[in-house]
Structure formats: structure tokens, C-alpha cells
């Protein structure tokens, strides 16, 4: 049975970040910064509450008679209790022989074009551990993008304004960044497992390293860009945030309304229509929060029974990163034009160059992951390199066709004497040959 390391990592980040935020808020209180104290507490306690509700919802404890568990979650001690329960199950599983097991069927990754189906016995203990891992993965994503991301942005903004940093704030920012990167990593793994649920997926350690570097560069540069822009244009940042947020929040609903599909009723049997609507709104809220800072890796699809689109859309990925790069560049340009005296000793052009290179580095690690380390790359209809080569050929096709047309036009303008020297058959064959080569390039 697999060691529940992901559960331990989630609980550690939850406890460490909450403790650091509470300590930092106490320092703001002693310093007389009431507004910073209130915002720090808000971005710390709000995700804590959402994490408790997520764990209760996944384990369906609202409909079960477990008053002690509900009390522990009310006291914000639910993750600690769940972690203790996980390790009790893990330690007892090797000593107790389970009389009841279930059989699951998974397909292996194709080898030489063939994919075998394997059967695996899953005991009750392993099934419970799977539920706990799934619950903590979702809780980590919620904590990362509805708590840690705003917290990191706030603390970095305070640092930029005060031009000073202490040990408590630096520790809080480090833990927040680590929590966001871990949440994005879990989001990637969740997306892979949901899209390829019928396959036996094994993620290699190098894949984790590549995702970690990809998300670290992407999130760090995004947060720094937002903080720099906010520090000089406080009013305009509200417009930027609202446009980003509502674009991603309304996009799944617009697709759902345009599809004409009926309202989904199979999310949870115990939920009413109002409860289902609240859950869907919360999912779209989380979806918008993720895409504010990084690529979500999952595409929310409300008219799908699984609520997730299982198709690999390279075009959407390309459009997202192109638009995000342009947006970051524009925000940095606005910061450069309106920067104040607090950045007097900062080399602005060099900082802009570093941030843009950092974001390009994130894209590079993303391409490396999808090309070499994705656990299901054999199932892709086309790899990243093949798609890029096809795009280059189609882009270069009009240029080659233009050059070939010019060469044909030059040949037709030759003198009559020169034309008589050329065989008549060659005059009619040269033109179609250029047309065929251009079509072949575009269809490649």
C-alpha cells in the first residue's frame, strides 16, 4: 500500500501557513497596522473554513452521526484529525487481513500499439486511503488559490510599500508560495487522473520536479507583476482583477448556456437544486481563482457529468499563455511609465527583462513536461513538437507560395525567343508542381 505522503504534505502546509499568518497578524497589531492585520487574518481564516467544509463534503459527514468530527472541524482541527485517521488506517492495514475486497480494472499504457487490461484487488483500507488522498488534494487546491495566493500578493505588496522585510513576513511569503506551487502541482495530477481515469497512471519523480519548476516560475512572476502594477496604479488594478476574474468565472456558464444542455442533477444525490447551484458556483469561483495566477490544467465543463473536459486542447493552452504573456508585458510597461520614488534604486529595464525571461522559463518547463515527462504522452494524438512543426509549416506555407508565384511570373515574362527554346510541356507542368507542394505543406 502506498505511503500517504501527499496527506502529510497537505497537513504540514496547512498548519505551518496558518501559524505563520497568525503570528504575522499579531506583529501588525502590535505595530498599530489594523488594516494589514485584518486582511492577513481574512486570507488565513477564510481558506481554513473552506478546507473544513471540503473535507466534510467529500467524506459525506453532514449526513452521518459523527458529532465529534463535526466539533473538531468547527475548531479548525479537522485536517489534523483526518491525518491521524489516515495513518491509523495505514499502520493497521498490514496487520489486519480484510475479508472483503473489490476488483478494479485498469488499462496499462500502450506498448507497441497494444494496451493490456489488468485487474487489481482493492481492500477497504486502500479504498478509505484513496478517499482521504482525494479529499486532501482538493483541499490543497482550495487553500492555495483562495488563501495562499491572495496572502502572498498582500505580503509582497506590504513589503514593496514599506521597503522593509522581517523574518515573520518572509517566512509567511515562502510558505504561501510553497502552498500555491503545491496546489498547482496537485491540480495537474488531478487533471491527469480525471482525464485518463481508465488507465493505470504512474507519475515519475522527474515529472514532479518539472511541474514544480514550471509552476514556481509561472506563479512567482505573475505575483510580482501584479504587485508592481498595484503599487503604482491602485485604482486600475481593480479593473484588471475584475476583468480577469469574471472572464474565467462566466466562461464555463456561457458555454453551458450556449450548449442548451439541461441543468446537471447528478453531482450529489443529497443536494437539492439550490445546493447544486451553490456547488457549481463555488467550482467556477475556484476555477477563476486558479486561472488568475496560473494555467488551471483542467477545463471546467458544466454540461459534462464529470464537470471536467477530458479532451487535450493545445489551442486553448497556447492562447492562454500568449494572452497572459502580453498582459504581463503591458502591466510591466505601465509600471515602468508610472513608477514612483520607492523604486529609485531599482534598475527597471533589467527587472522587466528578468520577469519576462522568468515567465518564458515557466513555459519552457511546461513544454518539456508535456513532451518528455507526461505519464500519458503515448495517448496524445500529437506531441508538442509535432504540433509546433505543423504550425510552422502552415505559417511558412503562404510565404513559400508567394515566392513560387513570383518565380512563375518571372518565367512567364521571358522573351518570346526564350519561350520557343523551352519545351511546351514544361510550361504547363511547372505551375501545378508548385501548387501541389504548397498543399502538401499545409496538410502535413
Beta strands in 175-253 (DSSP E): none
Note the pTM of the prediction, 2 decimals. Answer: 0.83
pLDDT at position 438, please? 38
Residues contacting residue 392 through CB under 8 Å, at least 6 positions apart: none
**Burial of 425 from C-beta contacts in 10 A (0-12 / 13-18 / 19+):** exposed
What is the C-alpha to C-alpha distance for residues 351 and 250, in angstroms, rounded to an integer? Answer: 34
pLDDT at position 17, please? 94
Q: Which three cell numbers stand for residue 40?
A: 492577513
CA 326 distance to own-chain centroid: 19
What is the C-alpha to C-alpha distance for residues 305 and 289, in angstroms, rounded to an integer? Answer: 22
pLDDT at position 44, please? 92
What is the C-alpha to C-alpha distance for residues 68 and 313, in angstroms, rounded to an integer? Answer: 45
300, containing H or E segment = strand 299-300
Cα–Cα distance list, 222 to 149, 210, 325, 392 (Å) = 10, 18, 10, 29
SS3 content of the chain, % helix, strand, coil (to 5): 75, 5, 20
Residues contacting residue 286 through CB under 8 Å, at least 6 positions apart: 141, 142, 145, 146
pLDDT at position 272, please? 72
DSSP 266-294: -S-TT--HHHHHHHHHHHHHHHHHHHHHS
379, 110 contact by CB (below 8 A): yes
What is the C-alpha to C-alpha distance for residues 158 and 262, in angstroms, rounded to an integer? Answer: 47
pLDDT at position 307, please? 77
221, 327 contact by CB (below 8 A): no
pLDDT at position 403, please? 54
47, 41 contact by CB (below 8 A): no
pLDDT at position 65, please? 72
- CB 157: neighbour CB atoms within 10 A? 20
Give the angle subtended at the CA of 183 by the CAs of 29 and 78, to the nearest 5°.
Answer: 65
Phi, psi (deg, nearest 5) at residue 99: -80, -20
What is the C-alpha to C-alpha distance for residues 326 and 377, in angstroms, rounded to an integer? Answer: 29
pLDDT tens track, the chain, 444 positions:
678 888 999 999 999 999 999 999 999 999 888 899 999 999 999 999 999 888 888 777 766 777 888 888 888 888 898 899 888 888 887 666 566 667 777 777 777 666 677 777 677 777 888 888 888 888 999 999 999 999 999 999 999 988 888 899 999 999 999 999 999 999 898 888 888 877 778 888 999 999 999 999 999 999 999 999 999 988 888 899 999 999 999 988 898 888 887 777 666 666 677 777 888 888 899 999 999 999 988 888 887 767 777 776 778 888 899 999 999 999 999 999 988 888 888 888 999 999 999 999 999 999 999 888 888 877 776 666 676 677 677 767 655 555 555 555 554 544 444 444 444 433 333 334 333 343 333 333
pLDDT at position 216, please? 95
Amino acid at each position: 500500500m502506498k505511503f500517504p505522503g501527499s496527506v502529510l504534505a497537505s497537513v504540514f502546509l496547512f498548519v505551518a501557513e496558518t501559524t505563520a499568518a497568525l503570528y504575522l497578524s499579531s506583529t501588525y497589531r502590535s505595530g498599530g497596522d489594523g488594516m494589514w492585520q485584518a486582511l492577513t487574518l481574512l486570507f488565513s481564516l477564510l481558506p481554513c473554513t473552506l478546507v473544513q467544509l471540503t473535507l466534510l463534503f467529500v467524506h459525506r459527514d453532514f449526513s452521518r452521526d459523527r458529532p465529534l468530527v463535526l466539533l473538531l472541524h468547527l475548531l479548525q482541527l479537522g485536517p489534523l484529525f483526518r491525518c491521524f485517521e489516515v495513518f491509523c488506517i495505514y499502520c493497521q492495514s498490514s496487520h489486519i487481513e480484510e475479508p472483503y475486497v473489490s476488483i478494479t480494472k485498469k488499462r496499462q499504457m500502450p506498448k507497441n500499439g497494444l494496451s493490456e487490461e489488468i485487474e487489481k484487488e482493492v481492500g477497504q483500507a486502500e479504498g478509505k486511503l484513496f478517499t482521504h488522498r482525494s479529499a486532501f488534494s482538493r483541499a490543497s487546491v482550495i487553500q492555495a488559490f483562495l488563501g495562499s495566493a491572495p496572502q502572498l500578493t498582500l505580503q509582497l505588496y506590504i513589503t514593496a510599500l514599506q521597503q522593509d522585510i522581517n523574518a515573520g513576513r518572509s517566512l509567511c511569503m515562502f510558505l504561501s508560495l510553497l502552498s500555491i506551487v503545491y496546489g498547482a502541482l496537485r491540480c495537474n495530477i488531478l487533471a491527469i487522473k480525471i482525464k485518463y481515469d481508465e488507465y493505470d497512471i504512474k507519475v515519475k519523480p522527474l515529472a514532479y520536479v518539472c511541474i514544480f519548476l514550471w509552476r514556481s516560475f509561472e506563479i512567482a512572476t505573475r505575483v510580482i507583476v501584479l504587485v508592481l502594477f498595484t503599487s503604482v496604479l491602485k485604482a486600475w488594478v481593480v479593473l484588471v482583477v475584475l476583468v480577469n476574474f469574471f472572464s474565467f468565472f462566466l466562461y464555463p456558464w456561457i458555454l453551458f448556456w450556449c450548449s442548451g444542455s439541461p441543468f446537471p442533477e447528478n453531482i450529489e444525490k443529497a443536494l437539492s437544486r439550490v445546493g447544486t447551484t451553490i456547488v457549481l458556483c463555488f467550482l467556477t469561483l475556484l476555477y477563476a481563482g486558479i486561472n488568475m495566477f496560473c494555467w488551471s490544467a483542467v477545463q471546467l465543463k458544466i454540461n459534462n457529468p464529470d464537470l471536467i473536459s477530458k479532451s487535450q486542447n493545445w489551442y486553448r493552452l497556447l492562447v492562454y499563455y500568449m494572452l497572459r504573456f502580453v498582459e504581463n508585458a503591458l502591466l510591466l510597461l505601465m509600471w515602468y511609465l508610472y513608477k514612483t520614488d520607492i523604486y529609485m534604486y531599482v534598475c527597471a529595464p533589467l527587472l522587466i527583462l528578468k520577469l519576462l525571461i522568468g515567465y518564458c522559463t515557466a513555459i519552457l518547463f511546461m513544454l518539456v513536461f508535456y513532451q518528455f515527462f507526461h505519464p500519458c504522452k503515448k495517448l496524445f494524438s500529437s506531441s508538442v513538437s509535432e504540433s509546433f512543426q505543423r504550425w510552422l509549416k502552415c505559417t511558412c506555407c503562404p510565404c513559400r507560395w508567394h515566392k513560387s508565384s513570383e518565380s512563375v511570373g518571372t518565367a512567364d515574362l521571358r522573351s518570346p525567343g526564350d519561350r520557343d527554346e523551352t519545351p511546351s510541356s514544361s510550361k504547363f507542368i511547372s505551375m501545378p508542381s508548385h501548387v501541389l507542394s504548397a498543399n502538401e505543406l499545409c496538410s502535413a
